[in-house]
Amino acid sequence: MNLSGSRIAVIGGAGLIGSHLVDQLTREDVEIVVIDNLVRGRKENLAEALKSHKVKLVMADIRNKEELAKVMAGSDYVVHLAALWLLQCQEDPRACLEVNVVGTQNVIEAARDLKVKRVVFSSSASVYGEPSYLPMDEKHPFNNRTAYGASKIAGEQMLRAFYEMYGLNYVGLRYFNVYGPRQDHRGAYVSVFMRFLDRIEKGEPPVLFGDGSQTMDFIYVEDVARSNLLALKAEATDANYNIASGTETSLNELAKLILQLTGSSLQPIYKKDANPGVQKRKAGVERAKTDLGFEAAIPIEEGLNQLIAWRMKTRAPGT
């Protein structure tokens, strides 16, 4: 698809992935409206993008159907990234339903009514739950047992239904373990990366729950943002794709690498894991390569160096 001259609504565009996507979109011949309630997103994430005449930030909440439709009006394409994330959904399933399910339904209905050309939906590897096999391809069954994963399945299925009923063009992206600059390091739901770095900065060893053999498929945020841009342009529709590196990294390996890159001589400590989650993650990535032209390009060591540099800059005194 040719995006030239179009207007793109990025819902949740002040967040981690959304703000990097907005940065990339400013290099395209498009107009961008960022729609965000700034609960998880931050205006400072858009500091550079907002200097462009192409970008406009509008405060709105996807739970308000009428307000959302009003600010989406005139958009040719929609990228929907707004959501409560996994731990928030565990703690407040009702809020998860209202934001991730009803809010997403509001986005879908507005896109249909406004005759949007395509919706790109942010789904998650959480839909798969504990793997039945590795690598997990897009045909892997939904073994999810979390409210968050359930909400993402609901979004995927409603988009499929609206494609069937109304011809609403969409692509869903199932993100694996996203990391990079602009990750939350101040809230209650910081990532494993930020928890490790916070402790190392204090001279305390990183804590691993269980034996550290749990694995994740880490992917750098700029790669993830690029996958959204490719999904906007691709001919593929009515399909969901894994967005991942296709590489399995254990938490032991991650801790060792972060300690090495920060020059720390600390050693991890281990605690019993009272709430073990999914133990293995590795994605099949061939379908995204074939249909979207997407491959992860940034290796974890390079990505971690970028994350650490950003964190040092943003946490420096006086900034």
Q: Which helix (H) or strand (E) holds 271?
A: strand 269-271
**Cα four-point dihedral sign 102, 37, 292, 116:** positive
* Coil vs helix vs strand at 283: strand
- Residue 145 CA to residue 128 CA, distance in Å, equals 9
Two structure tokens written together for 115: 């005759």
- Residue 146 CA to residue 149 CA, distance in Å, equals 5
| CA 102 centroid distance within chain | 19
Q: Which helix (H) or strand (E) holds 79?
A: strand 77-80
List 77, 128, 148, 170, catalytic entry: 148
For residue 158, report the phi and psi dihedrals to the nearest 5 degrees: -70, -35
- Residue 110 CA to residue 104 CA, distance in Å, equals 10
148 is catalytic: yes
Q: Are 227 and 288 in contact (CB under 8 A)?
A: yes
Two structure tokens written together for 119: 């919706």
Catalytically active residues, by annotation: 148
